[in-house]
Chain A
Amino acid sequence: MIRFEQVYKQLAGRTVLDGVDLEIQPGETFFIVGTSGAGKSVTLKHMVRLLTPDSGRVWIGDDCVSEARGRVLEKIRSRFGVLFQGAALLNWISAGENVGLPLLERTNKPVFEIEKLAREKLALVGLESAFDKMPAELSGGMRKRVGLARAIITAPEIILYDEPTSGLDPVTSRAIDQLIDSLRRELGVTSVVVTHDLHSALAIATRIAMLDAGRIVALGTPEEFIQSSNEKVQQFLEAQFITKRGAWEKAVAL
């Protein structure tokens, strides 16, 4: 579904992606973890060509997104829903209008129907009461969830989440995890999730990749990931108090 072939990228004269090879299957919930500045957001941005590789290619299905232009690019992008790290809501329209915006702009659905759908999606992220609020009136975590509702309202095939649970309380975080998981189980959505939260990753990922200094240093199912002998992975696990299998199973049970 999503394939990176030897992607290199320099930003500000620094190598940010250093030969990333990656293949994500349809219907996966693929997690990317890594330290701050490892290049996770940059990797996500390559999937929708907000960034273009210096060398190497990115494929979405049979389309090479890293070389697509104009309408082809637009067609590829329309298969995606994206949650940005900073939510990226338009701040002069209400939360509900933000959620409904993609439908209002891209479809001919009547406005009352769009409003109904927007309310539905906001309810899914636990924000039915925020429909008429302006983004400035919402907390960071609430904005993020509005962004999430906007990303899923067009029922996209592929959803990219940049830190969906950062800044959220643990209870809401688990609810968001369940939402991401149910999208996969019920609709077969392919998800790519960037996170620091290993509890989420271990609970709902089909596979986890660890990115460090622009390279993938570990890749595998949650079981393989937790047993990885890679030093960076072990550091990461220990930092979140996931040292033994038992601890991980507790995390899943949460």
Chain B
Amino acid sequence: MEKRGRWCRVPRGYFGSRTILTREPEFLEPPVNAWARIGRALLLGLRDIGRALRMLGEATSNTVFVFSRQNRYEVVHQMFLGGIKSLGVITIVALFTGMILALQTGLELRRFGQEVNIGTAVTVVLLREMGPFMTGLIIAASFGSAIAAQMGTMVVAEEIAALEIMSINPVRFLVMPRLVALALIMPFLTIYTNAIGILGGAIVGYTQLGVTFTAYFENCTRFAETKDLFVGLFKAFIFGVIIVTVACHQGFGASEGAVGVGRATRRTVIISFLTILTMGYFITRVFYK
């Protein structure tokens, strides 16, 4: 919740079962004291979570329209925007993550003459945690913020209102294709991140630690399990869902012109980061006891 002068503005909306987005601003009296402010912030936070989840539910139920003539190209297009266009950044980040992991663990392992085990270290860390996490952060910062900015601009330009008047459900028209696209593409991006990261480890192993490629790749598969890969991919899928939900919810809540769009974008990145981090921990906890 943001305070602006005398009035706190909080977007109201979500009436009816299908048309759940309106841009009608709501004006609350300023809180009487600090406790009231904290209480209100908590309640509004909870309400926002509820709304975001509700939007996610509606988008999910609208996936039945994914092959309709209006939506099928949009899904592919969004996959392209969210996935292929981020490959450059992902390549660089993944490569250096792998190289850093290999170097840091390798230097320690060398003290015990165990540098050949960097393969295992890099692979397990990437598959289980770093792969999906890094991919999630990159996509949240690039694609998530772009979605929030686009949705926010559409709200401000009354385009969302126009869609609703035309009886085009913005959740089906805008949220669902992005949700499907990102949920599908995130696991693939993560596989790519993992592969490039492992490659980066191999390069460092060969050039700086004297580990041959054969020894490295043999070591990679020795301790890493299929379970590690699949838990990582499941995380990536969840992160994709989180990014689209947060971005669309924030974007639709934008108001006050360009300032509001900027705020929605910033919040999207922050909230996605925090949610990805905490969800990553909890998913790990569930699968690795």
Given contacts A12-B7, A12-B27, A104-B70, contact A84 B162 (CB under 8 A): yes
Q: Does A101 contact B (CB under 8 A)?
A: yes
Known A-B contacts A13-B7, A50-B23, A88-B157; A74 and B18 likewise in contact (beta carbons under 8 Å): yes
Measured in the bound complex, the distance between the Cα atoms of B165 and A13 in whole Å is: 26
**CB within 8 Å of A: which of B1-24?**
6-7, 9, 15-19, 22-24
Q: Kindly name the residue among B6, B19, B158 whose own CB sees the greatest number of chain A CB atoms within 10 A.
A: B158
Contact of B159 among A50, A52, A78, A90 (CB under 8 A): A90
Task: Say if the beta carbon of B224 comes within 8 Å of chain A.
Answer: no
Nearest neighbor of A49 in chain B, beta-carbon distance: B22
**A86 and B158 in contact (CB under 8 A), knowing A12-B25, A50-B22, A73-B16?**
yes
Task: Assess whether B289 is interfacial by the CB under 8 Å rule.
Answer: no
Indicate whether B100 reaches chain A with its CB closer than 8 angstroms: no
Bound Cα distance A101, B27 (Å): 34
Q: Are B25 and A102 in contact (CB under 8 A)?
A: no
Instruction: Indicate whether A116 reaches chain B with its CB closer than 8 angstroms.
Output: no
Tell me, in angstroms, the Cα distance from A154 to B69 when the chains sit together: 19
A80 within 8 A of B: yes
Q: How many residues of B contact A (CB 8 A)?
A: 27
Q: How many angstroms from the CA of A235 to the CA of B257 in the assembled complex?
A: 33
Instruction: Bin chain A's interface residue count.
Output: 20 to 34
Interface 9-residue window, one of B53-61, B166-174, B197-205, B278-286: B166-174
B228 proximal to A (CB < 8 A):
no
Any A CB within 8 A of the CB of B125: no
Contacts of B16 in A (CB 8 A): 69-71, 73-74
A89 to B157, CA, bound (A): 9
Instruction: Tell me the nearest residue of chain A to B172, going by C-beta.
Output: A105
B15 touches A69 (CB 8 A): yes
Residue pair A84, B158 in contact (C-beta under 8 Å):
yes
Say whether, besides A12-B7, A12-B25, A70-B16, A105 and B166 are in contact (CB < 8 Å): yes
Tell me which of A12, A51, A70, A86 contacts B157 (CB under 8 A).
A86
Mark each residue of chain A from 61 to 76: 1 if its CB lies under 8 Å from any CB of chain B, else 0. Answer: 0000000011101100
B48 within 8 Å of A (CB atoms): no
Contact B166 A74 (CB under 8 A): no
Q: Which of B19, B27, B162 makes the CB contact (< 8 A) with A74?
A: B19
A residues less than 8 Å from B158 (CB atoms): 84-86, 88
Contact A70 B17, beta carbon cutoff 8 Å: yes
Cα distance A52–B9 in the bound complex, in angstroms: 17
Q: How far is the CA of A71 from the CA of B161 in the complex (A)?
A: 16
The answer on a CB contact under 8 Å between A106 and B24 is no
Nearest neighbor of A90 in chain B, beta-carbon distance = B159
Residues of B137-164 at the interface with A, using a CB-CB cut-off of 8 Å, are 154, 157-159, 161-162, 164
Q: Closest CB-CB distance, A87 to chain B, in whole Å?
A: 9
With beta carbons under 8 angstroms apart, the residue of B6, B17, B159, B167 that contacts A106 is B167
Shortest CB-to-CB span from B224 to chain A, Å, is 42
A154 to B165, alpha carbons, bound, how many Å? 12
For the complex, give the distance between the alpha carbons of A73 and B13 in Å. Answer: 14
Pairwise interchain contact B25-A48, C-beta atoms closer than 8 A: no
Counting CB contacts under 8 A, is A82 at the interface?
yes
Report B104 CB to chain A, min CB distance, Å: 44
Tell me, yes or no, whether A11 is within 8 Å of chain B by CB: yes
Q: Residue B168 contacts which of A10, A52, A105 (CB distance < 8 angstroms)?
A: A105
A80 nearest in chain B by CB position = B165
Q: How far is the CB of B64 from chain A (nearest CB, A)?
A: 16
Contact in complex: B19, A70 (CB < 8 Å):
yes
Minimum Cβ distance to chain B for residue A214 (Å): 17
Q: Please measure, in the bound complex, the distance between the C-alpha atom of A168 and the C-alpha atom of B7, giving whole angstroms.
A: 37
Contact of A13 among B6, B162, B166 (CB under 8 A): B6
For the complex, what is the distance from the CA of A13 to the CA of B167, rounded to whole Å? 30
Cα–Cα distance between A88 and B167 once the two chains are bound (Å): 15
Bound CA–CA A11/B256 (angstroms): 13
Name 6 extra pairs, CB < 8 A, besides A74-B16, A106-B166: A74-B18, A78-B167, A86-B157, A88-B157, A102-B167, A154-B166
Chain B residues near A (Cβ < 8 Å): 6-7, 9, 15-19, 22-25, 27, 69-70, 154, 157-159, 161-162, 164-168, 173
**Closest 8 CB pairs between A and B?**
A70-B16, A88-B162, A69-B16, A88-B158, A102-B166, A70-B17, A105-B168, A88-B159
Name 28 A/B residue pairs within 8 A (Cβ), A-sorted: A11-B27, A12-B9, A13-B27, A50-B165, A51-B24, A52-B24, A69-B16, A70-B16, A70-B17, A70-B19, A71-B16, A71-B18, A73-B16, A73-B19, A74-B16, A77-B165, A78-B167, A82-B162, A82-B165, A85-B158, A88-B161, A88-B162, A89-B159, A90-B154, A101-B166, A101-B168, A102-B168, A154-B166
